[in-house]
Structure formats: C-alpha cells, structure tokens
C-alpha cells in the first residue's frame, strides 16, 4: 500500500528552524508532485509548498515564501520542508501529499492522491 510517513515536527521557538521529512513508499516516486499543506485549528487547509517531479521547480504560498524551502531526494523517496524564521502563525498540523503526474494546480489539495498522517508543528512566542 502507499504510505507517506512524516517526521520532524515538534515545538520550536519563534525565529527558530525546523525540518520536516516525508518518506514515501510510492513505486514511482519521481512521477509524483510532492506537496506540503497545513491546517491550524478552526482554519481551512492551506497550501504551503510543492515541488515538481524532478525537483527542478518549486512553488510556495506567499505566507512562507523566503522562509520555507521544499526539496526532494528521489533516490531516497523523501521530500523535505526546511522551515526557517518560524513564527506563531506557522503553528499547524503539516501534511505531506503526493499527486501522480500532476501538471498544474499544485496548490489544490483535491488534486493530490495520497496523504500522510500529519505532524504537529508548534511555534512558541
């Protein structure tokens, strides 16, 4: 079965950094757009970042642009989200998602086929 397993969440002080990892069991990992979404209590799910099949193109929400970096290692079937300059508003459950052969709509969660369980990121002030 397809599994996306996330790790790296936790508690960090404002201004600090955190790196999330998502290990995927996908047979053809390089054929999937990989994305990160987040959802805070009482708020709708929000697109954070996405990366193309080969990792050559990345997409970011305006709220995280310049602070977060998404990357992937196709040899390890793993996608990462490096988060820097974290602030309280970044507090949310972060989920990894995979979209098979996606060519557009990278910020649209209904287009993603598989999801991880989500990991909590809490930024304290």
The four Cα atoms 18, 116, 61, 124 give a dihedral, to 10 degrees, of -40
pLDDT at 54: 84
pLDDT tens per residue across span 13-58: 999 999 999 999 988 888 999 999 999 999 999 999 999 988 889 9
* 26 vs 3: CA distance, rounded Å: 7
Pairing of strands 4-7, 58-60: unpaired
Per DSSP, the three-state class of 29 is: helix
- 3-class DSSP state of 123: strand
pLDDT surpassing 90 at residue 1 = no
DSSP β-bridge partners for residue 4: 24
| The pLDDT value given to residue 122 | 98
CB distance 62 to 46 below 8 Å? no
List pLDDT tens digits, range 48-106.
999 998 888 999 999 999 999 999 999 999 999 999 999 999 999 999 999 999 988 99
Mean pLDDT of 101-116: 94
């Amino acid at each position: 079965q397809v599994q996306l397993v996330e790790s790296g969440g936790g508690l960090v002080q404002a201004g600090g950094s955190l790196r999330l990892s998502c290990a995927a069991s996908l047979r053809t990992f390089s054929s999937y757009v990989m994305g990160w979404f987040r959802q805070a209590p009482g708020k709708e799910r929000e697109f954070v970042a996405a990366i193309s099949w080969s990792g050559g193109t990345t997409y970011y929400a305006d709220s995280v642009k310049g602070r977060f970096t998404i990357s992937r290692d196709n040899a390890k079937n793993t996608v990462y989200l490096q988060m820097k300059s974290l602030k309280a508003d970044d507090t949310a459950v972060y989920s990894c998602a995979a979209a098979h052969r996606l060519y557009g709509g990278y910020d649209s969660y209904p287009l993603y086929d598989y999801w991880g369980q989500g990991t909590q990121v809490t930024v304290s002030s």
